[in-house]
């Protein structure tokens, strides 16, 4: 904890002064272009990976980068998605999974979660992903972790489409969805391509770092 406290002090003394104007502008409002949904895993830093500054990403994090399907029961993810899309007007939603995901390991082996009842219930939102893989491969094991990580991203994107604010903006072309998987060990980002119907290296999906048109 000491290094965290020291870090705050360093930020106030060394970092903030150089970005004072930007922070003072942000103090009165935000206008992010991207809603970035990813895992709570401590190894994932959305701003570091995307090299973005405060105010550029509206970030939602939870175990397994899960988006529960829309329902009349309000939850933190539902409210955050609605606010980002309907109030802030984000233009892009990134759903980003990652390698070596503990939540995906739990989804593959539900028996390992017996002492974690809330985690087990939460990962029920990954069931469609596990069922897709089970239909393709039969019995699932640790060798299917990468495939589940990717399939889970796709299934959570489907869940996103059930949220009214997202559905409305998709219907009018005001928001775009992106499915990514971050490789912690290599720093590479795989992105889902509608053209190939699979995950590819980012540079092949986005030409020169830009969206394909």
Binding-site residue ranges for Zn(2+): 39, 41, 98, 101
Residues paired with residue 176 on neighbouring β-strands, in sequence order: 92
Which residue shows structure tokens 């106030």? Answer: 12
Helix (H, G, I), strand (E, B) or coil at 23: helix
Q: Are 126 and 104 in contact (CB under 8 A)?
A: yes
- Per this entry, what is the length of the chain? 213
Pick out the residues of the known binding site. 39, 41, 98, 101
Give the Cα separation of 76 and 82 in Å (integer): 10
In angstroms, what CA-CA distances link 50 with 25, 100, 185?
22, 20, 16
DSSP assignments along 112-172, one per residue: GGTT-HHHHHHGGGGHHHHHHHHHHHSS--GGGHHHHHHHHHHHHHHHHTTSHHHHHHHHT
């Amino acid at each position: 904890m000491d290094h965290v406290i020291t870090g705050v002090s360093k930020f106030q003394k060394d970092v903030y002064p150089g970005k004072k104007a930007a922070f003072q502008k942000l103090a009165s409002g935000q206008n992010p272009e991207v809603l970035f949904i990813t895992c709570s895993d401590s190894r994932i830093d959305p701003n570091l990976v995307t090299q973005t500054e405060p105010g550029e990403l509206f970030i939602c994090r939870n175990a397994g980068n899960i988006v529960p399907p829309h329902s009349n029961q309000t939850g933190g993810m539902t409210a955050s998605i609605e606010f980002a899309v309907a109030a802030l007007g984000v233009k892009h939603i990134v759903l980003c999974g990652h390698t070596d995901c503990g939540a995906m390991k739990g989804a593959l082996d539900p028996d390992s979660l017996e002492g974690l009842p809330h985690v087990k219930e939460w990962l029920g939102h990954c069931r469609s992903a596990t069922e897709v893989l089970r239909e393709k491969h039969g019995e699932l094991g640790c060798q299917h972790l990468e495939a589940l990580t990717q399939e889970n991203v796709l299934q959570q994107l489907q869940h996103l489409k059930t949220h009214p604010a997202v559905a409305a903006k998709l219907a009018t072309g005001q928001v775009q969805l992106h499915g990514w998987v971050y490789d912690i060990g290599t720093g590479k980002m795989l992105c889902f391509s509608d053209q190939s119907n699979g995950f590819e290296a980012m540079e092949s999906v986005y030409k020169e770092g830009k969206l394909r048109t």
